[in-house]
Every structure is written in C-alpha cells, then in structure tokens.
Structure 1
Amino acid sequence: MLDECERSVVVAPMAGGVSTTALVRAAAEAGAAAFLPAGYLTPEAVHRDLRELSDTGRPYGLNIFVPSRSAADVTAVEAYRARLAAEADRYGVELPAPRLLDDDHFAAKIELAVAAAPAWVSFTFGIPDAGVVEALRRAGSTVLVTVTDAGEAQQAVAAGAAVVVAQGGSAGGHSATTRPGGYLGDRGTAEVVREVRAAVSVPVVAAGGVGSAADVHELLAAGATAVQVGTMFLLAAEAGTRPAHRAALGDGGATVVTRAFTGQPARALRNRFTDAYSAHAPVAYPAVHHLTAPIRAAAARAGDAGALNLWAGTAFGQARPGTCREILDRLG
C-alpha cells in the first residue's frame, strides 16, 4: 500500500477543515502518505481539492464517510434537541429541524474518486458495498477500510478492501465502530492490531494513541505495516485547526469518548459541553451533528472552547507546533 512512500507514518484524514490540501501536499513532499477528508464537504469542494492535489503529481489519499443505512430514533433526537435549547440561547442561535438521514453526497463523491483515481481511497463509519470497492480498484486506487475489531475487518476484506486500518480506542476524533451504542474506546491500538492481523491476511495500518517515535515503533512491532497519526498534526503549520482548538491542546486536562457533538462515539478533550451532554446524546449520527452545528460554529466565532468538538487522541499532550515535515521527523 505504501510502496510510493518513504515513511511508515500516514497523516490521518481530519475532517472539518483541519486536513487542508496544504497539509496533504506537505506530507507527500516529505515522503508520507496523507488523506484528504471528503466528509462534510460539497462535491464541488471535493472536486476542487482533488484537482489541486492531482496537479502536484504526487500520490495522495481520499477519505469518504460511509452513510448510515438506518434512520435515527426521531423521539430520541427530538428529546436531545429540547435539551440543547439552553445552548442555543447561550450563543444566540436557532437549532435546525432534525435531519435523520444524510448520505453526505456519497454517490457523487464515489464518482469523483473514480474519476480522479487517487493512490488510496479510505472509508470510515462502515463497510462500502463490494461494487464501490471494485469500481475504485479498477480505476487504480488502493481501497482501505477503517475497522475496530476482527469482525469488521473480515467484513471489509469480504467487500474487497486491500488494506484495513485498525483503530484503537485511544484515537482522536470519531470511532469507525459499526456498533456505536456500546462503544467505550477502552481497547489499546496494539491489541486491536494483533486481533485484526489474526483475522485477515491483508496489510494492517495501525491508528490511535500515537505521540512519539516509540509509539510508532511499538505498533510496527505489533504487526502493522504503517501507522496512521492525526492528533500530532493538529498543531502543524499547514493544518486548518481552529485557534481555540490549538490553545486547548496545551491546557492539559483529559480526553473522553462522547456522542454529545455528533451522535457517533468520538474522543475529544473534556470540556463543559462533554460534561453536560455526554450522558444524554443518542446514537444518532449525523442527526446530532446537524443539531449541534450552529452551537459549535457560534462557539468557534467567540473563541469559546467550552462548546467546541476538540477532537484529540490520548497522546495529545505530546503534540508540538511545527511544519508537517518537522512533525514527521519527530515521529521517525
């Protein structure tokens, strides 16, 4: 999978504006694989970014969210919406009507991926259909699927995935689990890597909890062919991380796994919002994501980290500012 790359570290796709084309390009120039996140973007924006990266002539990856196949519980979503009214008042925003289903323009993004044929296309939040995987393979892309256990890995390989990304519970941002209701995020990445390697014969990329070269080496020793890292690049000069998020990474504290922001389990820095709403958020991605979007946007404009989704893995305390190349060099 990484034959084109000099490094064993992969720069993870971080949606929401963090993984810019500048970050992906800088990683490629430094000899590492990096993924452009298509999540939350319009097809037009994805097309523009793909064209920009294709023009560099360097290999890059694209990450796509697999849409949910079932609608959220409308009663649970409405109840959460009512609970969030206090936050809407605090920030002077209106909460949208519930959007129970949203495929994030999945079909259009697959068409763009087939046309652009990036070196790698990865999926999270589920297993894509075999026909989708085959279309990407025929276009020339290597397909990766993010998994959190052996069963998901076997499903991914059955669908045609050439590589699986074994995500531990220590990873920052959204978990790829297909069983979000019972997800605790309490399994170490090395454990997940070993379990997945025993279940499938394709290469395994490790993801989660990486803060140093020693962590990278540990996961390679556990059997990973490469190690995907996100949190350490939140402070990269080329990243689009919000100022409040950058500042919060240096404030200490701890991370928690929460559905409060999006309805899908995700690891974030603990803040006022996670304390107030984690126990009440339903399993309802992306309905909860759409509900909290105006609150998060208002908090970002105000520089208020208390209501921001401050995605971060457990190793966030080791993140240091620098260029993408400098951070890659620190990771070995």
Structure 2
Amino acid sequence: MTLYPHIIQGGMGAGVSNWRLAQAVSRTGQLGVVSGTALDQILVLRLQDGDPGGHMRRGLDAFPFPSMAARIYREYFIPGGKRKDAPYRLLPAHTRDTPRQITELCIVSNFVEVYLARQGHANLVGINYLEKIQMAHLPSIYGAMLAGVGYILMGAGIPLKIPGILDRLALHQPVEYELSVKGAREGDRFVMQFDPAECQDHPLPPLERPRFLPIVSSNTLAATMLKKANGTVDGLIVEMRKAGGHNAPPRGKLQLSGSGEPVYGDRDIVNLEKLRELEIPFWLAGGYGHPGKLEEALAQGASGIQVGTAFEFATESGLRDDYKAALLAQAIAGRGHVFTDPLASPTGFPFKVAQLPGTCSEPEVYAARARICDIGALREIYLIPGGELGYRCASEPITLYTSKGGAPEEAAGRKCICNALLANIGHPQIRNGQRMEPGLVTAGDDLNTIRDFLLPGHSSYSAQDVISALLSGAPAAAHSSHAVP
C-alpha cells in the first residue's frame, strides 16, 4: 500500500513556495512542496543579504560534500548583508555548456531548500519544477534527491523522460536530458548531460527514488504521460485554467475576449470519467482551494486536490509582506482582480497577473522599466546557422531579440518574469544605485476567496488555517494521508 496526501500545496513561483511554507504544510500530514525555480539564484541572493537567521548556513552544513558547500558560502556570503543601494551579484545564465560552478549551485541550492523543509517532522516533502526550464533539471533534481525529497512535480511541458532520470539518479548514474531547440533540423539532437560521480567527494549509497507527479491540463496529455513515459508515473495533477501562474493555452486558434484574455471552450475541459479510466491517482487543481472542494474532488474519484493561491498568502509563504497585505485587503473588499495576460510571459503561454499598484501589472510601471534580460531562466534556445546554439528572450531589448532572429511582434508586451518574481520575494535588483525592479504577482482566478481563511479579528492567516478550512467539510478519513494499492 502507498500513502498519498489528500492536499498538495502548490509549488508557486520562484521562492513563494519556500521551505518555511512547505515545512508548515508537511507538518500537518499533507504534502508541502517547495518551488524548484531559480533556487541557485535565490540561494546566492539570500547569502548576499547576510543569511538572516543563519538558515542557509544550516542547510549548507548538512550537505554531504562539505568542500562544495564551503566554496559557495565563501563566494557569496556577505556578513551583515549588502548595502541597500548595492546591486545583487547575479549568476551567469544557464547554457548547454553550463560551467561547473553553476552545476554545483543547482545541486546545493536544491538540497538546502528540501533539507530545511524536512526539518521538524517526519513527513514527506515535494519539489515542483517547470519542464520548460530544461538546462537546470539534472543537477537540480539530484540535489533535491540528496536531501530526501519524496515527490517530484513537473508541469509547463511534457516531461516524458523524467521518470527514467529519477531511476538512474537514485543509483548515482549518469543522465542526459534532450533540449527543445527552435529551428532544429531533422536528426539534430542536443542534450544536457550530468554525471553525479563528477561532483562527489566520496561514494554514497543508493538514494530513495521520489514519486513522480506530472502536471497535465488535458486528457490527451494525461494518457500520453502514462503510455510514453520512460518509467513509472505515480499519479497526475490535473490543472484547470483557473490556476495561477502559466496556463495551458486554449486548444485551437487563439481567440481573445473583449478584455483581451484568452477564451477557453468545451475542448479545454478535462473529462473526469476518462481520467478515472486511467486507473491512476490524480489530484484536481485550479479553483479547488475552498472548503467543500476536497469533498467534491474525492466524490469525483480524485485522490485529493492541489491548492496554490490560498497558501500563497499564508504567513509562511515567501511572498513579500506588503504585497500580501495589499492583495488581502483587496480580497476582503471583494476588489481583487486577476488578468489572464496572453502576452506577459516570454514563453508565449498565458500568465495570470494580479492587478496591484506599483507592480508591472500597471501599464505605466511596465513602460517605465528598461527592458533587460540578466537572469535568463525563460530564454528560448534556438539554432544559429552553422549548427551552434543561441539563446534569446522575448522580454529582452527588442533590437537585441530581433538581431537573434526573433520576430518583433513576439516581443511586444512581454514582461521580465524572472526579475519580477525575485522582486516578489524581497530580492529586487537595484539599477543605477536607486531604482528597484518592480514585482509582478501571479494568483488564481479565485483571489478574492482568500478572505475566507481569516479568523474573526485577524488580518493574516497561516498554512494550518488553510489546511483546517479545506478539511472542514471532508470525511474524517481525509484528515491524513490515504493508502492506495
């Protein structure tokens, strides 16, 4: 028998689903999940801020290869933190030939985040990755596995090769991951390669292979994952279009509503009857973060629900306190608004944006920001004539983007998600010693319902408050993990 949680906390954004939030959720017996996005960048930002509380040092001290952890600490830690007007030192963007320094940072940062999330309880913790951020996958997953991660979640793509990679990494065997390259010719094959032995100070025993839950948005993709994956798929997270962050685009030709949002139709609705026929555990996500929704999902044959937005505004999440307070106040007044922006993300996927003054959700704030791409997590890989690989981002300066073969219309309206997400968690880059990068907050369509988690007389709520509310209408058996043959 395998134990599965009824509630999975969403792996939101870069650093929003941080180790504190995941720890708080897993303490309750449900599944806490850390975001695996840009953890290498986030670790060095925290170290440059002086590592408040010493938590990064605590995680680094637990890393199984001390010399690697020590190099990183010496390189990036600033006692007392950097000056307020000093810019952060950023890492080089990932490439197919990523230097060892960046590979080590991926391993160590993912280890630290999972290790910290696992402290203080004996329950499992998960980590969430975006398939489209391909160049960081292999060392990042290995680092999380070194820390004993229990679940790997992955969406924003079709991660058919991840199950087999988990099998091999559990045995510390070399792995590779094929890259998506724009303009690749028939027969071209470009891969990232990673050999754990090259990063080890000493041999290690086999690791526990985490369970794998791909995130899908259609019956077709769900069936594809089960038929074509190169290893065991342990369950599916089925994400509806109400979920925050990147959404799957509507099927068929893109049509926009009068307000400029993508129009979804009947073809975009997941058929739960067909999903049940796959005979695999599944969790429903997107609009399920309310009391009574867990009971509804269980009645439809789901193993439970995944919830993001409700946890995003809990006290333990990494979202900036001022953003939390402002959006919570909007929700209390019933004035919170989320716009599904078809242009914001350089990936070309629709991206849900909470409307918040002072952030890039405001046209004047977006217009005032100089276009720059100095993190590059969402860059597109393309083939340069002659066979070399190039890297471009639709959010970089338009002249630079077009010089790399990008179409100017593809750059219009694009926002720098990378810098904005780091600003969201309190690490805004400083430009010219005075201007701070603005944030851009994403949330689900049900933003206004977060007010329901507030206890009378309170202006904030905890992850435990969310769990208690979600379980309030569910059968008693749902209050802990459940067994599946």
TM-score tier, shorter chain, comes to 0.7 to 0.9
Hey, what does 1:78 align to over in structure 2? none
Q: Which moved more, 1:170-179 or 1:102-111?
A: 170-179
Hey, what does 1:165 align to over in structure 2? 237
Residue 60 (str. 1) matches residue 143 (str. 2): no
Instruction: Count how many residue pairs are aligned between Structure 1 and Structure 2.
Output: 287
- CA–CA distance in structure 1, aligned partners of residues 464 and 138 of structure 2: 34
- CA–CA distance in structure 1, aligned partners of residues 470 and 123 of structure 2: 22
Question: How has the CA–CA distance of structure 1 residues 15 and 257 changed in structure 2, closer, same or farther, with 3 Å as cutoff?
Answer: same
Match of 1:206, SS state, is strand
Match of 1:23, SS state, is helix
What amino acid sits opposite 2:339 in the alignment?
A: V
Residue 154 (str. 1) matches residue 218 (str. 2): no
Give the superposition deviation at 1:127.
Answer: 2.4
Mark the structure with the bigger radius of gyration.
Answer: 2
What amino acid sits opposite 1:268 in the alignment?
A: V
Hey, what does 1:95 align to over in structure 2? none
Identity of aligned residues (%): 21
- CA–CA distance in structure 1, aligned partners of residues 314 and 295 of structure 2: 22
Give the superposition deviation at 1:253.
Answer: 3.6
- CA–CA distance in structure 2, aligned partners of residues 28 and 298 of structure 1: 26
> Which of 286, 307, 317 is 2:448 aligned to?
317
Hey, what does 1:50 align to over in structure 2? 114
Hey, what does 2:137 align to over in structure 1? 106
Match of 1:223, SS state, is coil
Residue 265 (str. 1) matches residue 350 (str. 2): yes
Match of 1:174, SS state, is coil
Does the 8 Å contact 1:28/1:59 carry over to 2? Answer: yes
Give the superposition deviation at 1:133.
Answer: 4.7
Does the 8 Å contact 2:130/2:155 carry over to 1? Answer: yes
- CA–CA distance in structure 2, aligned partners of residues 108 and 216 of structure 1: 35
- CA–CA distance in structure 2, aligned partners of residues 181 and 262 of structure 1: 19
Give the superposition deviation at 1:268.
Answer: 2.3
Question: How has the CA–CA distance of structure 1 residues 48 and 133 changed in structure 2, closer, same or farther, with 3 Å as cutoff?
Answer: closer
Hey, what does 1:85 align to over in structure 2? none
> Which of 157, 165, 172 is 1:132 aligned to?
165
Hey, what does 1:91 align to over in structure 2? none
Does the 8 Å contact 1:168/1:209 carry over to 2? Answer: yes
- CA–CA distance in structure 1, aligned partners of residues 249 and 234 of structure 2: 19
Does the 8 Å contact 1:146/1:167 carry over to 2? Answer: yes
Hey, what does 2:465 align to over in structure 1? 326
Give the superposition deviation at 1:312.
Answer: 1.0
What amino acid sits opposite 1:64 in the alignment?
A: Y
Hey, what does 1:250 align to over in structure 2? 329
Question: How has the CA–CA distance of structure 1 residues 34 and 232 changed in structure 2, closer, same or farther, with 3 Å as cutoff?
Answer: same
Hey, what does 2:371 align to over in structure 1? none
Give the superposition deviation at 1:217.
Answer: 2.3
Hey, what does 1:10 align to over in structure 2? 8
- CA–CA distance in structure 1, aligned partners of residues 111 and 253 of structure 2: 34
Q: Which moved more, 1:200-209 or 1:103-112?
A: 103-112
Using the size of structure 1 for normalisation, the TM-score is 0.73
Does the 8 Å contact 2:110/2:141 carry over to 1? Answer: no
Match of 2:138, SS state, is helix
* Structure with the largest fraction of helix: 1
Question: How has the CA–CA distance of structure 1 residues 137 and 318 changed in structure 2, closer, same or farther, with 3 Å as cutoff?
Answer: farther
Question: How has the CA–CA distance of structure 1 residues 185 and 172 changed in structure 2, closer, same or farther, with 3 Å as cutoff?
Answer: farther
Match of 2:3, SS state, is coil
Match of 1:27, SS state, is helix
- CA–CA distance in structure 2, aligned partners of residues 265 and 178 of structure 1: 9
Give the superposition deviation at 1:121.
Answer: 0.9
Deviations 1:115-138 (A, max 9, x none): 334221111112221522544788
Using the size of structure 2 for normalisation, the TM-score is 0.52
- CA–CA distance in structure 2, aligned partners of residues 178 and 113 of structure 1: 33
Match of 2:157, SS state, is coil
Hey, what does 2:72 align to over in structure 1? none
Does the 8 Å contact 2:18/2:34 carry over to 1? Answer: yes
Question: How has the CA–CA distance of structure 1 residues 136 and 208 changed in structure 2, closer, same or farther, with 3 Å as cutoff?
Answer: farther
Which runs of 5 or more structure 1 residues have no equivalent in the other structure? 68-101, 278-283
Give the superposition deviation at 1:256.
Answer: 2.0
Question: How has the CA–CA distance of structure 1 residues 296 and 214 changed in structure 2, closer, same or farther, with 3 Å as cutoff?
Answer: closer
Give the superposition deviation at 1:243.
Answer: 3.0
What amino acid sits opposite 1:174 in the alignment?
A: H
Hey, what does 1:76 align to over in structure 2? none
Which runs of 5 or more structure 2 residues have no equivalent in the other structure? 41-105, 172-207, 256-261, 367-376, 380-392, 397-414, 454-459, 472-485
